[in-house]
Amino acid sequence: MRAIILGSSAGGGLPQWNCGCPHCNAARAGDGDVRARHQSSICVSADGERWVLINASPDVRSQLAATPELWPRGTRGSPVRAVALTNADIDHAAGLLVLREGGAPALYCTARVEEALTDGLRILPALEAYGAVHVRRVEPGVATPVRDRDGVPTGVSLRAFTVASKPPPYMAGRHRDDPRGDLAGDTVGFAITADGRDEALVYVPGVRDLDDALRAELCRARCALIDGTFFTDDELVVMGASLKTSRTMGHAPLTGPGGLVEFLDGVAGPRKVLIHINNSNPVLRDGGAARAELAAHGIDVSHDGMQLRW
């Protein structure tokens, strides 16, 4: 099994359109220490020919163009046979609008994500105007062989598991009476395997609550590719960019009590790699102190174009 990191940044990307922080400025200027990054997305394949995109970022056109494995074969057609979504955030779903010519790939998502993209941001009804949209419901806990829109298997299986983060802002306020709360399927992680195999890449680009269920998922994995959005809980507040904390925005911070680094110290087994890095996060600087702190805990930071095998 292979994965290619198509985007390692959080929503907004690096550089973010309206951000003049030192990291974004360095990325614009081509400073060697802070590399430009697309918004988070990966692609996975069992055979190197049929690929499944996990999340469709607004940068997807540029991401596919930068990745020879995903270039079309023939006059029209794409090795991207299906798309699976971990949530309905704009930075994970808006790219579906870009994949419309020739008809969208098969789409795998939870009922809650489908509802958000049908009633909240009407991406799925809009795509119907360009060709039938094949939505396949993902049920948390059930291993699902991923098939293309014609029903042909891709060789990739996904098993979703719910994680507590938050619904996308445009869906805030709905479902207030749902007793499942943040575990209702607004956000999931995926255990990604070859059909019929157990060795998994676990992909969790957004998670706030680091609980026993998540720990068990990660301990079973070969590789954990997980939410590294913010280094500290009050990072945006200190920078003056927002009044929101990391946890308010649905992400466990890396450091501090109850942070991801502490949590991952209790996870034995998998390779540990961060993704979905916000432009404010000091781990973006190659060779910096924050990166060294992670390395001391055996944690890597992904970059665009990085390849993983398991």
Q: Which residues bind its own copies (CB under 8 A)?
A: 11-13, 15-21, 24-25, 27-28, 36, 58-62, 64-65, 71-78, 80, 90, 94-95, 97-102, 120-123, 125-126, 128-130, 168-170, 172, 239-241
Query: 240 Cβ partners below 8 Å, 6+ apart?
Result: none
- Report the residue number, 98 or 184, with the smaller CB distance to its own copies: 98
What burial class does residue 192 get, using C-beta atoms within 10 Å of its C-beta: 0-12 exposed, 13-18 middle, 19+ buried? buried
- Report the residue number, 78 or 255, with the smaller CB distance to its own copies: 78
Residue 73 corresponds to which tokens in the numbers above? 């074969």
User: Could you tell me the smallest distance in angstroms from the CB atom of residue 174 to its own copies?
Assistant: 11
What burial class does residue 129 get, using C-beta atoms within 10 Å of its C-beta: 0-12 exposed, 13-18 middle, 19+ buried? exposed
User: Could you tell me the smallest distance in angstroms from the CB atom of residue 43 to its own copies?
Assistant: 12
Rounded CA-CA distance 206/31 in Å is 28
- Report the residue number, 11 or 205, with the smaller CB distance to its own copies: 11
User: Could you tell me the smallest distance in angstroms from the CB atom of residue 88 to its own copies?
Assistant: 10
User: Could you tell me the smallest distance in angstroms from the CB atom of residue 216 to its own copies?
Assistant: 34
Element (H, E) at 189: strand 188-194
- Report the residue number, 124 or 218, with the smaller CB distance to its own copies: 124
- Report the residue number, 113 or 191, with the smaller CB distance to its own copies: 113
Question: For residues 102 and 65, is the Cβ–Cβ distance under 8 A?
Answer: no
User: Could you tell me the smallest distance in angstroms from the CB atom of residue 105 to its own copies?
Assistant: 9
Query: How far, in Å, are 32, 84, 87, 102, 263 from residue 110 at the CA level?
Result: 40, 9, 8, 24, 27
- Count of CB atoms situated within 10 Å of the CB of 29: 10
